[in-house]
Structure 1
Amino acid sequence: MLLIVIAFLAGVFTILSPCILPVVPFVFARSDQPFVTDRLPLLVGLAGTFALVTGLGTAGLSGAAQLSEYGRWISLALFAVFGAALLFPEIASRLSRPLSGLADRFVASSQGQGATRRIGSAVLLGAATGLLWAPCAGPILGLILTGAALHGASWQTGAALAAYAGGAACSLAVVSGLGKRSLDLLKRSFGLGEGLRRAMGALVLLTVGAIALGIDTRILAYVPSAPTNAIESRLVNLLATKKPVPAAAQADRIVRVSSTSNVSAPAALPVQGRLPSLDGATSWLNSAPLSSDALRGKVVVVNFWTYSCINCLRTLPYLKTWAQRYHDDGLVVIGVHTPEFGFEHDAGNVERALGDLNIHYPVAIDNGYRIWQAFGNQYWPAFYIVDAQGRIRYHHFGEGGYDEAEQAIRQLLTDHGGSLPAAARQPVQATGAQAAADPADVGSGETYVGYREAQGFASSQRVKRDAAFAYTLPAQLPLNNWGLAGEWNIGAESAVPTARQGRIAYRFHARDLHLVLAPTADGKPVRFRITVDGAAPGAAHGADVASDGTGVVTSARLYQLVRQPGPVNDRTFQIEFLDPGVKVFSFTFG
């Protein structure tokens, strides 16, 4: 229920985002019409169509993308007719009968024919507006869509999408009401009724042309949406401050957390529940299968992670240190690998990652999300500390809080009869991508490349889903925007260059830049070359690239490409793939 309420609030705040601008002219053009029979049905049609089409997409229906694309062009044609009718009265008179007949097909009624025609045409225009509306995938909407992608569509997903669209519709209703008052004032004061009607028609036609040519997306790429993202991030934190509850009682809430989201004070260590069953694992690595009963008498740390998640990687040095430091005292660290991307479902990829990351403690492969759901977990990374009686006594979501967590481990080991030395412990050392982030200078956030959750795309061409298409980079990239050059096939989860010399550029502000990459479908390595501000990275090269900017994608994982040793400023990163077929998933920073 909390997710639905917060989704509604996020939709309300969408009015502050530039992403709402393309649909405002269509709503404003109906501002002079009655609310109940015209403006309200339009907004209902907008919210309903957006929730329906987006819901079909999250349900994984194969025709959803095509339905949305075809509907978009039908909607543009409908609004072109609508704008022409406002601009030229003679066109309106010729089209009134056919449009009324079309509306009558949507609304079956035997009485009040005039009102039902107005309602029907308004719902039709609202549905068309919903097909044109492509809101920014901010934290809330991204959370809903990711949850649906991982867990499958559910009534919670549908309700959250409807709440999000309903919140946006409420904001647009306020805009429409203010527009009506303004229009009424102008008509009474200056007698501009006919001129205003024509001006709104011209505005609608200009908007249709801008959307059809992709001008709207090119303009919006240069308009920051940070205010609404910041508001939505605060709303996400409201979700994160709830204590874990059984999965059946939760809405889908799946978030990568880069900093502390929830800390239970280790001094009190209250009982927070019992260790759920671990039987949902599809397989185990580094160990025979473990059960909750077999772990009785041990203090257990259960860590939810996925091996390409940068936030998860930065917690590993602490988990590995605890596993080694307290093994003889009765501590067992268990990693629960719950995948995000498709390649992370491959147990062979996970096993290879364990070797690369030097992880020797037991890891449960949770491809079905059964352990995740048993814990009611919704975060990467997350860990739960269980006492010797099988009771959860401490949990933490995100990076940080390591001293408090180790204090909780020591306290529970001591309570179980252990005798731990009080001497100062050696600090944990981490290198490469596992080194702690520089939070004071991180001005860029995780950015997905696949169209399902992509944002900040600044190439001049509109994204062609699941089809090869040629893209070009803009002359300048605004901060936190990215673009493609060459021929690419952009899928829901990743983008793939279909020819050599495919390039991707990103304007970022952070010490580190990482990119999740996978080799070709047949496993062939892919060579690449990177530049920072047009030059080889030199001393700013990351762990997976040479100082001259060259590197090779050999396996599906996160690659650290930039680590700046000096001052952190806005930089333009570019990577060129010398071979086709690489899969590009997401950027992360630190």
Structure 2
Amino acid sequence: MTLLVVAFIAGLLTILAPCVLPLLPIIVGRSVDGQDKYKPLIVSGSLAVSIVLFTLLLKASTVFINIPQSTWSYISGGIIIFFGLITVFPGVWEKNALKFKFSNKSNQILGKSAQKKGFWGDVLVGASLGPVFSSCSPTYFLILATVLPQSFAKGILYLAVYALGVSVMLLAIAFIGQKLVKKLSGFADPKGKFKKTLGIIFLVVGIAIFTGFDKKVETAILESGFYDVTGLEQRLLTTPVEDKIEVEGVMNLNKEDQMKMNKSAWYPQYEELVNPSGFVNSEPFKLADIVGKKVVLLDFWTYSCINCQRTLPYMRAWYEKYKDQGLEIVAIHTPEFAFEKLHDNVVKAAEDFGLTYPIVQDNDYATWRAYGNQFWPRKYLIDVDGYIIYDHIGEGGYAETEKSIQKALKELHDREDLSGEIDTSISKVEADTSQAGSPETYFGSARNKNLGNGISGKSGLFTYELSDSFLADKLYLGGEWLLEKEFATTKQAGDKIVFKYNADKVFIVAEADDSIELEIRRDGELVTDNAGKEIINSTVNVKDSKLYNLIDEKNGASEHVLEITVKKSGVRIYTFTFG
């Protein structure tokens, strides 16, 4: 079978692929919206042209190489949301056109485009989905990655035939839908229920594309095993072909190539480390030095984060268990506070926590931004082909994470024919499972919204007075304090802190130039039985920049009043955290 025929069939099958199914309501809805018999042709044709042009832009220009896939989703989703709003609220455009004083000509063009007979509106809807359709097919990936670089003319031909297959199937579906709508009354009313429903579908699908939720739907469809269109397409690709291109084995794909093609449709590729600030437990390296040889678990964390600390027993256990079986853990240390940027502090924290795997300092948040991360902790699992096949935010999900590691390691062993069996047991780890009802509370003016006495959000030297009653989860200060953006500094001996908490454990992030004692009271009494691990004789000595455990409730989470008295000025306090 020639690749030309396979490309056409692949285009037909793409409409049934899990990554396209969630988008069909948009194509069909726009095509049947109105009585114009050319609507399906315009929408489908625009989509086909968009696929070709989008592919050529990716191959011909370096400008688009580093643009994240999410950017195209934002653009496509935004356009679909726009048309959804116009369909649900047909008078919106006219009102805004008058309000913002658009020219009559532009108002006329855009207004018509948003309505049922708007030619350019149909073009825009079809074209907006081109980037989303891209990479839904192994054949598309093959043309993009191998045929185009070897033969531009053949690549364009195959790409055009693939796009034609997509369009033919869309046209068939759209024309059937249009015929059905014509036989039913009440569907042509621009303010009727049908149009409103159509608009709502546009909004739902647009938001799904914009937020990336459509990818979760695609993955669920694929993993359900209901059908495997991609697998059928791959079987077509492995049949003998007549076309010859000067690349060994391009057309006769082996199992490894098939797996890579399938992954490209469902998973993003890893991002390289960006502008690392330092390395702990290793010499400088790039992820490219490891990916392809090992499975990589990327862990975004920062050492004073209690949520991060509670995951570390699992990280240590997994590293010891799987490091000789092909797992490499790379911890990306992205600091929350300025003191966490210091290399020596990170080294000491690694020693204190018993971490021996590589730690990369990300002081400028460059790698954090490259991955689009917003959370501590967060884990990305990178497989042997460099795809992020698993992503977990926050604590928990340990069994699920370990099973994903085992699955990735098995693929590595099968691929590289490595000796030894993968240990498929789930690690039993003694870890902190405490629960907190109180929120993390910051002392610095940039984020001290829970300040109970005084004005939050202001920096400077302030004198605070304590009352006799305290609200839960509010920070109360007593005495003289210097508030800066990240922290608050005690200015005299006897300064106080009061906080009414509900938690198993209470922690404070603090530092001082010299060792300074803090006296800890719980419900008015010096803390003894419920003292945290850093407490000795009801006091804690603060010096190193780190997290200090003040309270450890023996009977579980409960509500109490914490009172801290500072014995000397000069303590810089960043935050309360609870467990």
Provide the TM-score with structure 2 as the length reference. Answer: 0.53
Unpaired segments ≥5 residues, structure 2: 1-70, 75-206, 225-261
* Aligned amino acid, residue 344 of structure 1: E
List per-residue Cα deviations over 1:393-434 (Å, max 9, x = no partner): 10101100010000000001011126435564441123xxxx
**Partner SS for 1:551:** strand
- Equivalent pairs counted in the alignment come to 328
CA–CA distance in structure 1, aligned partners of residues 521 and 212 of structure 2: 44
Q: Match for 1:318 among 307, 314, 317?
A: 314
1:539 Cα deviation (Å)? 1.6
Question: Partner residue of 2:559?
Answer: 570
Query: 1:280 aligned to 2:269?
Result: no
Question: Partner residue of 1:350?
Answer: 346
Query: 1:490 aligned to 2:480?
Result: no
* Aligned amino acid, residue 428 of structure 1: V
**Partner SS for 1:352:** helix
CA–CA distance in structure 2, aligned partners of residues 550 and 447 of structure 1: 21
Query: 1:479 aligned to 2:469?
Result: no
List per-residue Cα deviations over 1:290-348 (Å, max 9, x = no partner): 21221122000000001111111111111111111100100000100001111111111
Question: Partner residue of 2:196?
Answer: none
Unpaired segments ≥5 residues, structure 1: 4-237, 246-263
**Counterparts of 1:144-293 in structure 2 under 5 Å?**
242=211, 271-293=266-288
* Aligned amino acid, residue 537 of structure 1: V
Query: 1:457 aligned to 2:446?
Result: no
Query: Is contact 2:493–2:567 with CA below 8 Å preserved after alignment?
Result: yes
Query: 1:499 aligned to 2:488?
Result: no
1:436 Cα deviation (Å)? 2.3
**Partner SS for 1:509:** strand
* Aligned amino acid, residue 373 of structure 1: R
Question: Partner residue of 1:360?
Answer: 356
Query: Is contact 2:399–2:426 with CA below 8 Å preserved after alignment?
Result: no
Question: Partner residue of 2:524?
Answer: 534
Q: Match for 2:433 among 397, 418, 436?
A: 436
List per-residue Cα deviations over 1:219-249 (Å, max 9, x = no partner): xxxxxxxxxxxxxxxxxxx99x95599xxxx
1:280 Cα deviation (Å)? 2.0
CA–CA distance in structure 2, aligned partners of residues 403 and 567 of structure 1: 25
CA–CA distance in structure 1, aligned partners of residues 270 and 557 of structure 2: 44
* Aligned amino acid, residue 276 of structure 1: E
* Aligned amino acid, residue 286 of structure 2: S
Query: Is contact 2:334–2:368 with CA below 8 Å preserved after alignment?
Result: yes
CA–CA distance in structure 1, aligned partners of residues 293 and 213 of structure 2: 23
Residues 421 and 332 from structure 1, CA distance in 2 versus in 1: closer, same or farther, beyond 3 angstroms?
closer
1:489 Cα deviation (Å)? 0.7
CA–CA distance in structure 2, aligned partners of residues 306 and 325 of structure 1: 23
1:470 Cα deviation (Å)? 1.6
Question: Partner residue of 1:409?
Answer: 405
Residues 375 and 507 from structure 1, CA distance in 2 versus in 1: closer, same or farther, beyond 3 angstroms?
same
Question: Partner residue of 1:518?
Answer: 511
* Aligned amino acid, residue 342 of structure 2: D
**Partner SS for 1:570:** strand
1:483 Cα deviation (Å)? 0.6
CA–CA distance in structure 2, aligned partners of residues 462 and 278 of structure 1: 41
CA–CA distance in structure 2, aligned partners of residues 549 and 315 of structure 1: 28
**Partner SS for 1:317:** helix
**Partner SS for 2:289:** coil
1:527 Cα deviation (Å)? 1.0
Provide the TM-score with structure 1 as the length reference. Answer: 0.52
* Aligned amino acid, residue 550 of structure 2: L
CA–CA distance in structure 2, aligned partners of residues 476 and 353 of structure 1: 38
**Partner SS for 1:540:** coil
Query: Is contact 2:406–2:423 with CA below 8 Å preserved after alignment?
Result: no
**Partner SS for 1:379:** coil
CA–CA distance in structure 1, aligned partners of residues 211 and 529 of structure 2: 43
CA–CA distance in structure 2, aligned partners of residues 331 and 360 of structure 1: 13
CA–CA distance in structure 1, aligned partners of residues 382 and 358 of structure 2: 16
Residues 512 and 267 from structure 1, CA distance in 2 versus in 1: closer, same or farther, beyond 3 angstroms?
farther
Task: Please identify the structure whose Cα radius of gyration is greater.
Answer: 2
CA–CA distance in structure 2, aligned partners of residues 477 and 552 of structure 1: 26
* Aligned amino acid, residue 386 of structure 1: I
CA–CA distance in structure 2, aligned partners of residues 339 and 243 of structure 1: 27
1:469 Cα deviation (Å)? 2.4
Residues 345 and 539 from structure 1, CA distance in 2 versus in 1: closer, same or farther, beyond 3 angstroms?
same
Query: Is contact 1:449–1:493 with CA below 8 Å preserved after alignment?
Result: yes
Query: Is contact 1:458–1:474 with CA below 8 Å preserved after alignment?
Result: no
**Partner SS for 2:526:** coil
Question: Partner residue of 1:50?
Answer: none
**Counterparts of 1:90-109 in structure 2 under 5 Å?**
none
Identity of aligned residues (%): 31
**Partner SS for 1:288:** coil
List per-residue Cα deviations over 1:94-133 (Å, max 9, x = no partner): xxxxxxxxxxxxxxxxxxxxxxxxxxxxxxxxxxxxxxxx
Q: Match for 2:380 among 374, 378, 384?
A: 384
1:508 Cα deviation (Å)? 0.7
List per-residue Cα deviations over 1:429-488 (Å, max 9, x = no partner): 23xxxx2222xxx221111111211123222x4469433222111211011112111111
CA–CA distance in structure 1, aligned partners of residues 347 and 213 of structure 2: 29
**Partner SS for 2:348:** helix
Question: Partner residue of 1:579?
Answer: 568
Question: Partner residue of 1:445?
Answer: 439
Residues 566 and 343 from structure 1, CA distance in 2 versus in 1: closer, same or farther, beyond 3 angstroms?
same
CA–CA distance in structure 1, aligned partners of residues 361 and 428 of structure 2: 30
* Aligned amino acid, residue 583 of structure 1: R
List per-residue Cα deviations over 1:255-297 (Å, max 9, x = no partner): xxxxxxxxx9897896421121114212111001221221122
Residues 404 and 242 from structure 1, CA distance in 2 versus in 1: closer, same or farther, beyond 3 angstroms?
farther
CA–CA distance in structure 2, aligned partners of residues 386 and 410 of structure 1: 12
**Partner SS for 2:345:** helix
Query: Is contact 1:244–1:376 with CA below 8 Å preserved after alignment?
Result: no
Question: Partner residue of 2:289?
Answer: 294
Query: Is contact 1:465–1:489 with CA below 8 Å preserved after alignment?
Result: no
